[in-house]
Amino acid sequence: MNVEECISKRKSIRTYKPEKISQELLEKILQAGILSPSAKNQQPWKYIVVSEEIKNQIAEELTKNIGHPNPTSRAISECSHLILVYNTQEEYFSHMSIGASIENMLLTATSYGLGSLWIGYIRKITDYVNSLTNEENELISAIALGYPNEEPPARPRKDFSEVVSYLK
């Protein structure tokens, strides 16, 4: 699959099959994050792959926080692996660099036929997550990965003409 195909095939997946991703595949995805561009090549990211037990604790806590069962918590509990993405630097551009690394990982997952979900909601339970990970760095997002158990339709995008202009 070329990059263009990965970009158009990638969709947020919120329900997963029970099969686990191999360690080899997981590390290819993490490596794609590491290969991302970053401002001044500071590589402000840190990735923590959590155990099954911690993954379930996080899903439960998020359900409690949101107040009802929801697709994000379900994705966390069903996915094969959950990667927590931290920012290790107080640097003006670090959030942009980390965004690039997350997208690289999502596209690489797509190229291997995996589903993924970018999870910003994890920040609502930062203190809880950091108490499990013993991290003091800034929690940016989480990524759920696994074999998709749904084929959602492509979500709508704004019209090209609405977002693109040429300044003459």
Among 30, 32, 55, 72, binds ligand FMN (CB under 6 A): 72
Number of residues that bind ligand FMN (CB under 6 A): 11
The 3-state DSSP class for residue 118 equals strand
What are the φ/ψ torsions at residue 13 (nearest 5 degrees)? -110, 125
**Using CB under 6 A as the criterion, what x/- string covers residues 122-151 for binding ligand FMN?**
------------------------------
- List the alpha helices (DSSP H) in the chain: 3-9, 23-34, 52-66, 71-78, 94-111, 126-133, 160-163
- Judged by beta carbon, residue 67 or residue 166, the one nearer ligand FMN is 67
- Judged by beta carbon, residue 86 or residue 118, the one nearer ligand FMN is 118
- Smallest separation (angstroms) from ligand FMN to the CB of 57: 17
Structure tokens at 70: 């929801």
- Judged by beta carbon, residue 51 or residue 65, the one nearer ligand FMN is 65
Total length of the chain? 168
Structure tokens at 82: 């959950």
- Judged by beta carbon, residue 23 or residue 65, the one nearer ligand FMN is 65
Is residue 71 a contact point for ligand FMN (CB under 6 A)?
A: yes
- Smallest separation (angstroms) from ligand FMN to the CB of 136: 22
- Judged by beta carbon, residue 37 or residue 120, the one nearer ligand FMN is 120
The 3-state DSSP class for residue 89 equals coil
Among 11, 73, 76, 82, binds ligand FMN (CB under 6 A): 11
How far is residue 31's CA from residue 112's CA, in Å, rounded to a whole number? 14
Amino acid letter, 37: P
- Per the listing, tokens 């990970």 go with 133
By the criterion CB under 6 A, which residues form the site for ligand FMN? 11-12, 14, 71-72, 117-121, 155
